[in-house]
Chain A
């Protein structure tokens, strides 16, 4: 629990006494109280741990599910889109092509769908005790990052396997750019996630929208096809999707196909900043009184 929260500067100035905390009807729109969040880092790590430990208790395969999910998705994609529909994969083995897209896209989609439940699924806890509410979405990003790391290593293992078999792959220096790409995925997931989670406290239907929206989004992201295979008309549409540049850049860095478009990445980054800013404003508003409407 930290000091200086919900501070209204004008109140402070008119009061000669020094108060550590002022509880007021509304607080500063953009005040995300990051310092408070920093104080809650132990809590965030315990949430991450809880999610990790609790989710796979009483399951047979346990954490193996982290590998099964992308593996099965990739196999299904390979069979359906690669072998049956015969979509082009830029000359790459279709298995690696789909896996690279799936792994990076999953980080975004699971972050989004879980953070968008922040208020509704934690209502019981939020109604009884205060801690920085952002701790929940942030802990979700971290848990998902761990899941991503596991799946990413799995992907690297398959890459190695293909290289050893003599498939020509062209990983390049853009690999160093990976943390930035991840940050952008995390930021986009967080931004849109907290917007949705704030709005769902009042309008529940948004949750359903997110569920199939994410599935649909995958089809306008170059996960199962390369951007270059699309006609210019569709390319323009797909470029509007802020995830496009990230997925393409990720694939280019590790497999050497696709594209790195700095302008496009800049656009995605801008969308991320806007999403987080808008999310922060709505989240702040909702956080103060959402217990009354949930």
Chain B
């Protein structure tokens, strides 16, 4: 019988927006005085809707979230940027305290919000293993015991007595992850630290995470990568704007997350309050999926061409801007990435764009995608300079394969692509 090992009860967390520190002494006194009389914080506005004036306001990063975790569960936590995922992790790892509510825990929690916390560049690899291990909560004897194993996993044996400032970034990350991977708490809280190192090392790290889960330990795993969520977790929580939107078996939760959108089918329109303040001067309007007749549609036919259109304003001229779209399947496979200035000629022509109202439209040929559900992400950035705006899952759509090659057989066809390829059959 499984027992509850973590119980999260009505946890909320408010962050103060705007300037912190100046002219707040009087606010501090007000809050303190209210608290001293047992009254609620007078500066918090519960469920506030107005995002227009953020100066000096509070934002609820988490709003009355409750859930429990049973022993041995690997629970995924997903949500858009700003949905409260990292806040949950921070509270669980005791980096910051909740504004209200409680979390009750049985056993030791170790958190991995980052690998290599506390690494000192001047210290050798060996010294840093001990230091980092202790910071993560290991006893010296415990590290002694696992030292060889850690060293082996890190693949940096020959440099172990070299200061880590001389390490390549890959070596640094491998050593850091090796320490983290050998923690043995009852509960492990993991952020997207798995996305480190080269592909080979990532595979190894994911494997190690899988092992941890199989040893019956409880893991809370936050990720943007739906395929690792599906691979590692049985159950997943979806957070949306600080609230618990759903909890379900992972495939179901991932589907919900990927297709949840308040837009009308085939179109994602960004409301004013959804646009981060630092996007300026880029102002997104909408991302649309258009069929061959230019109609906004939710389902396209694989045998017809279609296009994706991004509408936006530039409130000031921008240099080096590129609009990118990311096409992923709902299973987390990346299908393709494309930018509106990929083409050399267009790259030259649009080096800088004056302020104005823009449409970047991308045409897709017929016979490209396999049937199923896909997600479009969009990104506006200047290469290596700044990212203005990003929505990783702006729009979800379906592809219908009626008339596609191979439809005479009813069996499902794996893979994201279903091109009409030229076959030649010869007899000799």
A interface with B by C-beta (< 8 Å): 1, 5-6, 8, 11, 15, 17-26, 40, 42-43, 46-47, 49-50, 53-54, 57-58, 124-131, 202-204, 288-289, 291-293
Contact = CB atoms under 8 A, between A and B. Distances in A.
Contacts of B113: 128-129
B100 A25 contact: yes
B108 interface: yes
Given A23-B105, A125-B117, A50 B137 contact: no
B123 interface: yes
Q: Is the interface of A mostly helix, strand, loop or mixed?
A: loop
B95 interface: yes
Q: Please list the 6 inter-chain residue pairs (A to B) with the smallest Cβ-Cβ separation, ordered nearest first.
A: A288-B97, A130-B94, A43-B134, A23-B103, A1-B137, A19-B104
A292 B15 contact: yes
A58 B165 CA distance: 12
17 contacts: A11-B102, A17-B4, A20-B107, A20-B108, A22-B104, A23-B104, A23-B105, A25-B98, A46-B130, A46-B140, A47-B131, A49-B127, A54-B122, A128-B113, A129-B113, A129-B117, A204-B21
Nearest to B110: A1
B289 interface: no
Interface string B124-146: 00010011001111011000000
A287 B402 CA distance: 61
A130 B106 contact: no
A20 B120 CA distance: 32
Nearest to A40: B134
B207 interface: no
B131 A46 contact: yes
Contacts of A22: 102-105
Contacts of B135: 43, 125, 129, 131
Contacts of A291: 90, 95-96
A50 B127 contact: yes
B154 interface: no
B117 A25 contact: no
Contacts of B320: none
B395 interface: no
A136 to B, nearest CB: 11
A203 B106 CA distance: 37
B118 A1 contact: no
A125 B115 CA distance: 11
A61 to B, nearest CB: 16
B101 interface: yes
B15 A130 contact: no
Most A-side CB within 10 Å, residue of B98, B104, B109: B104
B114 to A, nearest CB: 4
A129 B95 contact: yes
Tell me which of A5, A42, A57 has the highest count of chain B C-beta atoms within 10 A of its own C-beta: A42
Given A202-B21, A293-B21, A131 B102 contact: no
Given A21-B109, A22-B102, A25-B98, A53 B21 contact: no
A288 to B, nearest CB: 4
Contacts of A57: 122, 163
B137 A15 contact: no
B91 interface: yes
Given A1-B110, A23-B103, A46-B131, A53 B123 contact: yes
Given A20-B105, A25-B99, A25-B100, A50 B111 contact: no
B16 interface: yes
B28 to A, nearest CB: 8
A247 B100 CA distance: 47
Contacts of B118: 125, 129
B185 interface: yes
Residues of B in contact with A, size category? 35 or more
Nearest to A55: B122
Given A43-B135, A54-B122, A57-B122, 12 more contacts: A1-B185, A6-B97, A21-B106, A24-B97, A25-B100, A46-B140, A49-B127, A53-B122, A129-B95, A129-B135, A292-B96, A293-B20
B96 A129 contact: no
Contacts of A49: 127
Contacts of A128: 95, 113-114, 117
A1 B109 contact: yes
A47 B93 CA distance: 21
B21 A289 contact: no
Contacts of A46: 130-131, 134, 140
B237 interface: no
B122 A25 contact: no
Given A19-B106, A23-B91, A54 B101 contact: no
B92 interface: yes
B118 to A, nearest CB: 5
Contacts of B15: 292
A46 B129 CA distance: 11
A130 B107 contact: no
Contact of B131 (A25, A40, A50, A203): A50
A19 B9 CA distance: 13
A126 B91 CA distance: 13
Contacts of B127: 49-50, 53
Among A5, A11, A21, A54, chain B packs the most CB atoms within 10 A around the CB of A21
A58 B21 CA distance: 38
Contacts of B90: 291
Nearest to A5: B94
B105 A42 contact: no
A58 B136 CA distance: 28
A164 to B, nearest CB: 41
Contacts of A24: 97-98, 102
B136 A292 contact: no
Contacts of A23: 91-92, 94, 97-98, 102-105
